[in-house]
Amino acid sequence: MVSRVIPVESFDLVVFGATGDLAKRKILPGLYRRYVGGQIPEGARIIGAARAEMDDAGFRLLAEAAITEFVDAGKRQGDLVARFLDHLTYVAIDAKGDAGWDRLKVAMRDGVVQAFYFSVAPALFGDLAERLHRFAIATPEARIVVEKPFGRDLETARALNATLASHFTEKQIYRIDHYLGKETVQNLMAVRFANILFEPLWNARHVDHVQITVAETVGVGGRGAYYDKSGAMRDMVQNHMMQLLCLIAMEAPYRFDPDAVRDEKLKVIHALEPVGAEDIVRGQYRATKDAPGYVQDAENPASTTESYVALKVNIANWRWKGTPFYLRTGKKLRARASEIAIVFKEVPHSIFGDAEGWRENVMAIRLQPNEGMTLSVMIKEPGPGGMRLTEVPLDMSFAEALGEDGADIPDAYERLIMDVIRGNQTLFMRGDEVEAAWAWTDPVIAGWEARGDRPKAYDPGSSGPEDALMLLHRDGRRWREIRE
Ligand code: BG6
């Protein structure tokens, strides 16, 4: 299979927060991989900007160290790294003062795509936007990229949208949710809308329920200060899991076009029913004799923040009324495994009577690791002895199915940064979408705060708190096993 590399125009990409963690782990290595992939044109420039005093050579050393740490050795052959580093320059700036901004202005060129990546704390978004404007650095076509957390509730998200809107139009604002850059997440749209097979079944008549699981093995050690103010609901559900739910539940957009796609996702968010106390379980991992628990990791002994949350979500529209979506996500669980499972209903009538072995069909879409799709189907158990049924998987690993191309699945950030340069907003959240997601999330959080609910303790390495099992058991269903 031949890779189709879509060329991009020449650009100036300014990375604010260029010495920070995200830049080192994701942005700079991601840009390098795209360079190896032939997508960074010779004229492109990447300008690091941060408070630290440093010259171009210092920034190149920092970038080289990041690439060495986070890019496979196989991609660092010959003089590729050195040639990539030639694209990098650095400007020291003060986000809250005036220092450095004139130099940044001089560094920018006319006539190329301009993008500004705000890889900084959200409290600085407004300062950066205001200075890009005041120092007349950004052109009217320039793009800005902002990271989550996009607010911590509806009010702060609105304020942030208003601040950005006073300097940039919606067409210029790229709100990143890196889940949308994951190859399998994009594949959800391809599978749903490029095949005739699934659509007739994709509704409450045929789908019993949907399970969305994002399980992680890591704890919150090292970022407890941020996480403790956020918790799983704000950190994962309001954004990443909401996006997954939207892509599963939305109607077909009339075209694969940014606003057409985002309009359909927005309708799903508007149709979400409020979540009652009985439909939510929060958890917090406890300490073991060898490892600290959540409260130690968060350095907050009295913390009631959840490191796990499971919810039953209902969508009040024609397609989904009566088909619940069960969502769960947590830290320190038994495996790093994210999947979406569409669990279909029983056949209307079994011609085999009570044939042993019958199970419902399940379409499982694995987001990570080993991205792929499995469709479980019933067949006859081989051999004599009458009609016994058995379940077999139609299993597809994208990496195997696509050969070399599949093995080289780009990281979410690579894809998204290139989309910014190309000016394609399809995989970025629109302001109204973010606000609608908070408008649904806020009352859920306010509900448990008003009730004074405390999260249930769960063992690290488990599947989460016992109570989460009940969420499905009482509906006569069960969670799928969390495994890699
Ligand atoms: C981030 C969250 O947005 O996503 C983290 O803040 C979480 O808490 C991470 O660990 C998960 O991303 P991924 O790509 O590893 O599934």
The answer to whether residue 178 is catalytic is no
- Asked if residue 6 has pLDDT above 80, the reply is no
At 345-369, the pLDDT tens digits run 999 888 887 767 778 999 999 998 8
At 49-75, the pLDDT tens digits run 999 999 999 999 999 999 999 999 989
How much distance in Å is there from the Cα of 417 to the middle of ligand 1? 18
Closest approach atom of ligand 1 to CA 240: 3
The per-residue pLDDT for 3 is 47
Closest approach atom of ligand 1 to CA 223: 8
For 382-416, letters b (16+ CB in 10 Å) and e give eeeeeeeeeeeeeeeebbeeeeeebeebbbbbbbb
The per-residue pLDDT for 351 is 87
How much distance in Å is there from the Cα of 103 to the middle of ligand 1? 35
Ligand 1 pocket check: which of 26, 182, 216 to mutate, most ligand atoms within 8 Å of Cβ?
216
Alpha-carbon distance values, 323 to 208, 209, 210, 316, 481 (Å): 6, 5, 8, 10, 20
45-50: strand order across its sheet: 88-92, 45-50, 11-16, 113-118, 143-146, 173-175
- Asked if residue 80 has pLDDT above 80, the reply is yes
* In contact, 61 and 85? CB cutoff 8 Å: no
The per-residue pLDDT for 364 is 95
Confidence category of residue 396, pLDDT binned at 50, 70, 90:
confident
Specify the residue with its C-alpha closest to ligand 1, atom 10. Answer: 216
The per-residue pLDDT for 406 is 58
The per-residue pLDDT for 7 is 61
How much distance in Å is there from the Cα of 331 to the middle of ligand 1? 10
At 305-355, the pLDDT tens digits run 999 999 999 999 999 999 999 999 999 999 999 999 999 999 988 888 776
Query: How far, in Å, CA of 90 to CA of 46, rounded?
Result: 8
- Catalytic residue (one of 240, 270, 349, 473): 240
User: What percentage of residues in the chain have a pLDDT greater than 70?
Assistant: 97
Closest approach atom of ligand 1 to CA 412: 14
Confidence category of residue 2, pLDDT binned at 50, 70, 90:
very low
Specify the residue with its C-alpha closest to ligand 1, atom 13. Answer: 179
Two structure tokens written together for 481: 């096993």
- Asked if residue 172 has pLDDT above 60, the reply is yes
Bridging pattern class, strands 113-118 and 207-215: unpaired
At 107-152, the pLDDT tens digits run 999 889 999 999 999 889 999 999 999 999 999 999 999 998 899 9
Binding-site residues, ligand 1, Cβ < 6 A: 148, 216, 235
Ligand 1 pocket check: which of 236, 332, 339 to mutate, most ligand atoms within 8 Å of Cβ?
236
- Asked if residue 420 has pLDDT above 60, the reply is yes
